[in-house]
């Protein structure tokens, strides 16, 4: 029995991975057990934004693990304060509550919004509502999938938690119409990743900020995928010059080696948590804090935000040019681009498989969109190496899509 078949025998089939068994990674490259080297154009949905095995991350991981890793938050640990202070500084928020996964940080945001709604806004107990957007992806817990608009995420997992109102993404008027006296928060992704790198209309976030200010509502942004340099800014909301009341971060914060996430907000929101109201055995442990702090330092010191903006514009231009006639749209910001293929001309799954054969690893979403999100550490030469192979694959599919000559 080979390694892939063994995994299929013992692992629940909650994913449908490409038939490639990876053995090791270095920088922007992944190597399979047969020795074939491929360019990672996925970076673990932004979790590997610093590349595989970044030497500074591995050094901190090793040193901190030898010194102190997990004690639970029953005690203070030396790295936590410096980590959260730096995270607050780069985000413009005042306090943070550390967790592990992005979904846990989203759950934390939901609890914060509801408690704020009851204790500060004065919403009647049990009546708080949070407005979310159709097409959202905030995680996989039962509460979160309950307000997903994707039937496959919900099927067989009800009953679901009430208190969420779904409206079309990018439609500020729909959000305005959904606001009631019971609305505690608007919680959205500033760019929808799993939905296919969907960018809202210009001015959308500014309009939401104004609506929240006018109606005493919290604006909470989920930047687990879009944050920490992915879009060419530290956070995607900076493209519109607004500041949210709550910010959810994760993925890249773990340096590609450890789950680290956090919910950030003002002191007025965070003071609503008291001992016993929320917690996590592993959240904010010393190892996580040391890695998170080093990840933030690397992003700043290696100028990865600026690199994402520069290389991302180049990647988008090239992808747009090479997919003319095949793609309905090429969209995104920074090193985060979705190519939405015309399904009548090419299957995203087939293209992804061909790209893997050509030495480029990525993944389709929602059947028609191919996501391109390489590590922010990628060089221009490495990026062009991958884009050259993408161009050859897209060209081959474009040729098949053309009608035969009479």
Task: Determine contact, residues 259/249, Cβ cutoff 8 Å.
Answer: no
Residues in CB range of 28: below 8 A, 6 or more apart: 39, 40, 51, 52, 374, 375, 377, 378, 382
CA 300 and chain centroid, separation: 19
Alpha-carbon gap, residue 92 to 88, rounded angstroms? 6
Residue with tokens 């590609």: 256
183-188 and 129-133 beta bridge pairing? parallel
Q: Which two tokens stand for residue 198?
A: 């969907």
Peptide bond preceding 215 in cis form (omega within 30 of 0)? no
**How many helices and strands, by DSSP H and E, does the chain display?**
13, 15
* Closest listed residue to residue 27, CA positions, set 302, 303, 378: 378
Beta bridge partners of 129: 183
SS3 175: helix
Taking the CA atoms of residue 99, residue 107, residue 308 and residue 366 in that order, the dihedral angle to the nearest 10 degrees is 130
Residue 405, CB-side half-sphere exposure with 13 Å CA sphere: 1
Number of other CB atoms surrounding residue 220 within 10 Å: 27
Q: Which residues are catalytic?
A: 137, 222, 251
What's 232's DSSP letter? S
- At 376 the three-state DSSP class reads coil
- Measure the CA dihedral 390/392/393/397, to 10°: 130
Q: Which two tokens stand for residue 93?
A: 């928020």
Alpha helices in 68-187 (DSSP H): 80-91, 102-116, 142-145, 151-154, 172-178
Query: How far is it, in rounded angstroms, from Cα 337 to Cα 229?
Result: 14
Cα separation, 296 vs 300, whole angstroms: 6
Distance CA 212, CA 206 (A): 10
């Amino acid at each position: 029995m080979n390694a892939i078949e063994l995994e299929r025998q013992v692992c629940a089939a909650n994913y449908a991975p490409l038939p490639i068994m990876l053995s090791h990674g270095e920088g922007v490259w992944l190597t399979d057990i047969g020795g074939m080297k491929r360019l990672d154009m996925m970076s673990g949905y932004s979790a590997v934004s610093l590349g595989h095995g970044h030497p500074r991350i591995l050094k901190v991981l090793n040193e901190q693990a030898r010194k102190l890793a997990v004690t639970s938050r029953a005690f203070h640990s030396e790295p936590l304060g410096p980590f959260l202070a730096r995270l607050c500084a780069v985000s413009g928020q005042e306090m943070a509550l550390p967790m592990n996964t992005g979904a846990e940080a989203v759950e934390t945001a939901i609890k914060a919004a509801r408690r704020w709604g009851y204790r500060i806004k004065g919403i009647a107990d049990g009546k708080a509502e949070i407005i979310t957007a159709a097409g959202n992806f905030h995680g996989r817990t039962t509460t979160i999938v309950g307000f997903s608009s994707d039937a496959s995420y919900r099927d067989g997992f009800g009953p679901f938690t009430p208190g969420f109102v779904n409206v079309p993404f990018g439609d500020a008027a729909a959000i305005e119409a959904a606001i009631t006296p019971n609305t505690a928060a608007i919680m959205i992704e500033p760019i929808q990743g799993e939905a296919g790198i969907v960018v809202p209309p210009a001015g959308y976030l500014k309009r939401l900020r104004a609506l929240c200010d006018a109606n005493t509502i919290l604006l909470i942004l989920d930047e687990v995928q879009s944050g920490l340099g992915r879009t060419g800014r530290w956070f995607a909301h900076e493209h519109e010059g607004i500041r949210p009341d709550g910010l959810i971060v994760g993925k890249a914060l773990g340096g590609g080696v450890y789950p680290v996430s956090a919910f950030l907000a003002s002191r007025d929101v965070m003071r609503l948590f008291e001992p016993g109201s929320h917690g996590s055995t592993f959240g904010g442990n010393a190892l996580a804090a040391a890695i998170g702090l080093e990840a933030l330092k690397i992003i700043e010191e290696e100028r990865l935000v600026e690199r994402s903006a520069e290389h991302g514009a180049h990647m988008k231009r090239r992808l747009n040019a090479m997919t003319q006639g095949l793609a309905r749209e090429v969209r995104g910001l920074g090193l985060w681009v979705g190519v939405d293929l015309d399904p009548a001309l090419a299957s995203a799954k087939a293209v992804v498989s061909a790209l893997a054969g050509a030495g480029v690893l990525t993944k389709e979403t929602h059947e028609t969109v191919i996501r391109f999100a390489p590590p922010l550490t990628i060089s221009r030469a490495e990026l062009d190496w991958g884009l050259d192979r993408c161009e050859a694959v897209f060209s081959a599919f474009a040729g098949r899509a053309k009608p035969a000559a009479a």
